Chain A
Amino acid sequence: MKPINEMKLKFESRSVNEAFGRSAVAAFAAQLDPNIEEISDIKTAVSEAVTNCIVHAYKDTVGTIYIWTSLYADGLVRIRIRDYGCGIENISQAMEPLFTTLGGERAGLGFAVMEGFCDKVRVRSKVGKGTVVTLEKRIKGRDSDD
């Protein structure tokens, strides 16, 4: 299936850009006429993925974060978030709720939140090469009952 619209975004992994990343994706997805709940779901999931790039992938350095967003006629939003950072050694462990390598102020819930707010979350990663997180969310829209 071909997307009806696409956008690409590229920005530096500075924490001040977290709000920019999630707002830009949400603003782009708004053309599918999502309800407020769906917009919040997208914002929260993207925020988690971008934060992961900043605090894990490019820990102690500044790298580039890429976000591709595709919209489909049936209401599907596909968001790919990619970094060229350190990569994840053990993906299933990283995705476990409460697992964190940072401790203290991080809850270890990033992937759990992404999975909770999206229909599908896929992660590909290679140590030293980087990580791609694919989020899929189907927008039912403002006219839906729920």
Chain B
Amino acid sequence: MAVRIVHSPMRLTVSVSGEIDHHNAAVIRYETDEAIQSSLAPCVRIDFGDVTFMDSSGIGFVMGRYRIVDSYGGCVEVVNLKERIFSMMKLAGLDKYVTLRKKEKGKKNETNK
């Protein structure tokens, strides 16, 4: 499990890799929130491209970040979602609050890591 942070003027990109469960979510949350606090960018992009497993802790993680970012009028987008994770988030109704984008096959990763 690892978190990569890329700052740009208008967007903070958080790339998560590995498994997201209740145990790992604590570390991912801590690192993400530190980055959000030190950034003035209005948009937070969370990249799930390298996430290999996620349970409902992943949904709680996204929802929690949405609450923080929304409190200062920012927006959250979650990108590079695998089919399975995308449908879990959709079922949980996350698409009402954040932009969800599936992983596009053959297309280069937008976050150019």
Q: Which residues of A contact B (CB under 8 A)?
A: 15-16, 18-19, 22, 37, 40, 43-44, 47-48, 51, 54-55, 104-107, 109-110, 112-113, 116
The contact of A48 among B19, B29, B55, B92, by CB within 8 Å, is B55
In addition to A106-B60, A116-B91, 20 A-B residue pairs with Cβ atoms within 8 Å of each other are A15-B21, A15-B23, A18-B21, A18-B22, A22-B21, A43-B53, A44-B53, A44-B55, A47-B53, A48-B55, A48-B56, A51-B22, A51-B55, A51-B56, A104-B64, A107-B56, A107-B57, A107-B59, A107-B92, A113-B56
Q: A48-B55, A116-B91 are in contact. Are A40 and B84 (CB under 8 A)?
A: yes
**Interface of B (DSSP majority class):** helix
Number of A-B contacts (CB under 8 A): 58
**Contact partners of B29 in chain A: CB under 8 A:** 105
In the bound complex, how far is the Cα of B41 from the Cα of A95, in angstroms?
38
In the bound complex, how far is the Cα of B26 from the Cα of A16, in angstroms?
11
- B63 to A107, Cβ gap below 8 A? yes
Interface residues of B, count at CB 8 A:
21
**Residue interface mask B31-73, A partner, CB < 8 A = 1:** 0000000000000000000000111110111011000000000
- A105 to B84, Cβ gap below 8 A? no
Q: A106-B60, A107-B60, A109-B92 are in contact. Are A19 and B19 (CB under 8 A)?
A: yes
Q: A18-B23, A19-B23, A105-B64 are in contact. Are A40 and B55 (CB under 8 A)?
A: no
Question: Whole-angstrom distance from the CB of B54 to the nearest CB of chain A?
Answer: 8
